[in-house]
């Protein structure tokens, strides 16, 4: 190969250029071949440099292009943030300003609603089409910067560009992971709503690392210079690459099933990767250490703020824990976190359960028993399972605890005329928090209308929020709230969940029953005799059109209570082939556990076991009909908020239904979804 062809292949790589140098010069400059791969040599182009003036000029030019690429990347990301900031605040100010003439605002309203009609719909693998559009823009930014202003005559300059984009993307990934993110104030997107983009950016960074490493490996292999990879700086880069592999693997495989293990691996691998990249490219003239320092500063500042608040909130603070049926746990935190609002969440630290872990729990009430802050937690694995076991073994136990936060952003429901709250399972923590806060803030003259829908798996789960359900019936503003409860697994029913789903249409038979505050339901007495529970089956609409209809339906509730009827239906705890004696023993044990949980729940609520007259329907609600009916009955000059929290299937249904209701000639409709996530 001629010298000129070598120059094309190595013109922007210190390592490649080493192949052109005499043997003594090659040895002197073997420390330059990785990382920015030439920027270092560019700064060494003065007296004593082993590179020719032409080579030094090429190195300097490549360094300038890469620095410019990093600047363009930062500008593009800042531009995206500016767009979202403008859209958020312009909509917010426009909704509050009565002085904007309707003819002037009409074109903007039409365009905005047509776009939102498309963007709020769910997208494959993402929460919404809006998320998909944002990801597409982010990928386009990276592709543009990868392929422009780079010498394509060799792998070396392209590999160097991938390395630069890797570092800039890493900084962005950390920015998206900040709990105390400025985006929560600028765009109303807090960290948990940015998690989707955080994951996409993390995977992009990993791919850039793979391309960067493989491109340089192929480049040095082609030159016969693989010994360069045995240098300390390159070994540090390899370790950083393996740390990226650990982070991505843990996120893809462990996050859903073993969150604690994922978190430890993810955080540890990140810290090691940052240090190793610093050793990989230590020269300050390459500007890489500057970007790494900014990344580390963002991470450290966020951690410092969080630790400071945690220590401040841990003084004279304790959590009282109570078991709830079906694996639930009620937590009463003595010290209210500053700025805590029902519906937001905090990161709870209970060292007696797990010393080095904090977990996000949604605030239900900030003025619970004795002024405590209330949380209801469903047990899964790890921390929540151990917490429930501790509460079951020691109901009412007080544990040293602290809460860090609060976090979360959502629209103020008081700014809307009609509010539709839909929850599935433990997602009711969010909707109960919102509706309870609204009832306290509304006055007697308020004309707001609230539709409250909750779907629980079992009747016992309804008792988790028995005190709040009682509030929805007894509060002075209760007539403004139309409550619909659903249970997907009705004891004694011969229908499977799938049958119930298929038969639940626009109108659904309502089975009325009573449940006791604390968990024991009247329906648990079915085994004692066929007359222990009287049912009233009607077919009302899911949405009550008037307070009168609501009152009439409440009068239809008939309950027959029988003593000692607190055990579960045996169909729930044993298979048909199980031994009868074993099933009976298991049933007794389950009944005893539920009775203990019921007593603890009553104590936690500060109530006696008084009946709460609430009705429920079997199956699942027709969310689309509920939303469509509520929106269609709202004047076009009014505003509607649809807020939902629950499993992905429910969120998908709510998104599609709400999108169909966002029209240019209807009322203003806003959607907010709280996803189940960490």
pLDDT single digits (tens) 108-124: 888 888 998 899 998 88
Contact (Cβ atoms closer than 8 angstroms) between residue 56 and residue 47: no
In the predicted structure, residue 178 carries a pLDDT above the cut 50: yes
What is the pLDDT averaged over residues 390-405? 94
Contact (Cβ atoms closer than 8 angstroms) between residue 408 and residue 673: no
CA dist 510 to 486, 501, 531, 541, 620, Å? 9, 14, 19, 10, 11
Provide the sign of the torsion angle of the four alpha carbons 522, 433, 394, 385, taken in this order: positive
CA-based nearest residue to 343, from 448, 424, 258, 436: 436
What is the pLDDT averaged over residues 637-654? 92
Q: What is the pLDDT of residues 21-61, one digit of tens each?
A: 333 333 333 334 444 444 343 343 344 456 678 777 877 88
- The pLDDT value recorded for residue 676 is 58
- The pLDDT value recorded for residue 619 is 87
- The pLDDT value recorded for residue 97 is 67
Q: What is the dihedral of CA 586, 587, 589, 591, to 10 degrees?
A: 160
CA-based nearest residue to 429, from 477, 474, 364, 378: 364
Contact (Cβ atoms closer than 8 angstroms) between residue 676 and residue 648: yes
- The pLDDT value recorded for residue 464 is 92
- The pLDDT value recorded for residue 214 is 94
When the pLDDT of each residue in the chain is averaged and rounded to a whole number, the result is 77
- The pLDDT value recorded for residue 49 is 54
- Confidence grade of residue 324 (pLDDT, cut at 50, 70, 90): very high
- Confidence grade of residue 126 (pLDDT, cut at 50, 70, 90): confident
Instruction: Return phi, psi of residue 630, to 5°.
Output: -65, -40
Give percent above pLDDT 70 in the chain.
Answer: 72
| pTM of the full structure | 0.77
User: 171: buried, middle or exposed (CB in 10 Å: 19+, 13-18, 0-12)?
Assistant: buried
Q: What is the pLDDT of residues 206-229, one digit of tens each?
A: 999 999 999 999 998 998 888 888
Which residues lie closer than 8 Å to 565 by C-beta, 6 or more apart? 520, 522, 524, 525, 527, 528, 532
With tokens 């007259």, the residue in question is 613
Contact (Cβ atoms closer than 8 angstroms) between residue 94 and residue 85: no
CA-based nearest residue to 330, from 361, 272, 294, 376: 376
Considering only residues 534 and 340, tell me which one the structure prediction assigns the higher pLDDT.
340
E-strand spans in 124-256?
none
- Domain ranges, ordered by start, for the chain: 70-230+283-305, 315-407, 413-571+585-675
With tokens 């993390």, the residue in question is 202
Q: What is the pLDDT of residues 537-594, one digit of tens each?
A: 333 333 333 343 334 433 333 333 333 333 333 333 333 344 344 344 434 444 454 4
In the predicted structure, residue 244 carries a pLDDT above the cut 60: yes
- The pLDDT value recorded for residue 559 is 34
- The pLDDT value recorded for residue 370 is 82
Q: Is the domain 315-407 a CATH 2.40.30.10 member?
A: yes
- The pLDDT value recorded for residue 486 is 93
Q: What is the pLDDT of residues 247-303, one digit of tens each?
A: 999 998 888 888 888 999 999 999 999 999 999 998 888 889 999 999 999 999 999
- The pLDDT value recorded for residue 272 is 97
Q: What is the largest CA-CA distance in the chain?
A: 101
Strands in 373-378's sheet, in edge-to-edge order, are 373-378, 328-333, 318-324, 397-400
Q: Residue 520, CB half-sphere, CA atoms under 13 Å: how many?
A: 25
Which residues lie closer than 8 Å to 135 by C-beta, 6 or more apart? 126, 197, 200
Instruction: Give me the architecture of the 413-571+585-675 domain, per CATH.
Output: 3-Layer(aba) Sandwich (3.40)
- Confidence grade of residue 434 (pLDDT, cut at 50, 70, 90): very high
Peptide bond before residue 534 is cis, with ω within 30 degrees of 0: no
Radius of gyration over every alpha carbon of the chain, rounded to an integer in angstroms: 30
């Amino acid at each position: 190969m001629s010298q000129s062809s070598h120059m094309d292949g190595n013109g922007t790589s210190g390592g490649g250029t080493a192949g052109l140098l005499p043997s003594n010069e090659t040895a002197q400059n073997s420390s330059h071949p990785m990382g920015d791969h030439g920027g270092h040599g560019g700064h060494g182009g003065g007296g004593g440099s082993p590179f020719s003036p032409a080579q030094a000029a090429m190195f300097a030019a490549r360094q300038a292009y890469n620095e410019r690429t990093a600047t363009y990347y930062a500008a593009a990301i800042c531009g995206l943030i500016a767009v979202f900031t403008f859209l958020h605040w312009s909509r917010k100010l426009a909704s509050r300003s009565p002085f904007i003439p309707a003819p002037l605002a009409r074109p903007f309203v039409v365009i905005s609603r047509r776009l939102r009609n498309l963007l709020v719909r769910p997208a494959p693998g993402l929460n919404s089409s809006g998320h998909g559009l944002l990801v597409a823009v982010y990928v386009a930014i990276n592709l543009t910067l990868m392929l422009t202003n780079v010498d394509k005559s060799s792998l070396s300059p392209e590999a160097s560009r991938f390395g630069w984009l890797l570092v800039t993307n890493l900084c962005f990934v950390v920015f998206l992971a900040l709990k105390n993110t400025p985006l929560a104030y600028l765009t109303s997107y807090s960290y948990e709503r940015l998690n989707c983009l955080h994951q996409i950016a993390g995977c992009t960074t990993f791919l850039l690392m793979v391309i960067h490493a493989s491109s340089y490996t192929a480049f040095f292999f082609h030159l016969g210079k693989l010994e360069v990879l045995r240098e300390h700086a390159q070994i540090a880069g390899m370790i950083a690459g393996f740390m990226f592999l650990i982070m991505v693997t843990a996120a893809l495989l462990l996050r859903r099933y073993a969150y604690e293990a994922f978190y430890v691996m993810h955080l540890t691998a990140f810290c090691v990767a940052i240090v190793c990249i610093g050793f990989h490219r230590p020269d300050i003239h390459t500007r890489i250490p500057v970007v790494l320092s900014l990344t580390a500063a963002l991470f450290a500042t966020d951690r410092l703020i969080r630790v400071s608040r945690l220590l401040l909130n841990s003084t004279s603070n304790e959590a009282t824990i109570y078991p709830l049926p079906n694996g639930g746990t009620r937590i009463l935190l003595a010290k209210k976190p500053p700025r805590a609002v029902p519906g937001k969440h905090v990161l709870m630290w209970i060292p007696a359960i797990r010393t080095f872990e904090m977990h996000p729990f949604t605030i239900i009430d900030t003025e619970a028993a004795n002024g405590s802050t209330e949380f209801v937690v469903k047990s899964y694995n790890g921390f929540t399972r151990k917490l429930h076991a501790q509460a079951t073994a020691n109901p009412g136990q007080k544990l040293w605890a602290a809460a860090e936060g609060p976090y979360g952003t959502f629209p103020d429901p008081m700014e809307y005329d009609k509010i539709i709250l839909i929850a599935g399972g433990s997602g009711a923590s969010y909707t109960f928090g919102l509706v309870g806060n609204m009832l306290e803030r509304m006055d007697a003259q308020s004309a707001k209308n609230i539709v409250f829908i909750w779907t629980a798996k079992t009747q016992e789960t309804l008792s988790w929020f028995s005190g709040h359900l009682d509030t929805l019936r007894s509060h002075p503003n209760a007539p403004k709230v139309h409550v619909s409860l659903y249970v997907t697994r009705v004891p004694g029913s011969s229908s499977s969940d799938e049958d119930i789903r298929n038969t639940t249409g626009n109108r659904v038979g309502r089975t009325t029953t009573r449940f006791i505050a604390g968990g024991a339901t009247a329906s648990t007495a079915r085994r004692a005799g066929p007359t222990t529970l009287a049912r009233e089956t009607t077919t009302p609409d899911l949405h009550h059109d008037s307070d009168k209809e609501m009152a009439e339906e409440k009068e239809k509730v008939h309950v027959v209570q029988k003593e000692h009827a607190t055990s579960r239906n045996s169909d729930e705890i044993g298979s048909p082939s199980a031994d009868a004696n074993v099933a009976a023993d298991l049933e007794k044990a389950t009944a005893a556990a539920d009775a203990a949980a019921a007593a603890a729940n009553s104590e936690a609520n500060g109530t006696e076991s008084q009946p709460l007259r609430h009705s429920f329907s079997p199956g699942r609600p027709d969310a689309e009909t509920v939303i469509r009916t509520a929106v269609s009955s709202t004047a076009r000059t009014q505003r509607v908020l649809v807020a939902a929290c629950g499993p992905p299937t429910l969120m998908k249904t709510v998104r599609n239904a709400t999108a169909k209701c966002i029209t240019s000639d209807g009322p203003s409709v806003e959607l907010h979804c709280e996803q189940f996530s960490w």
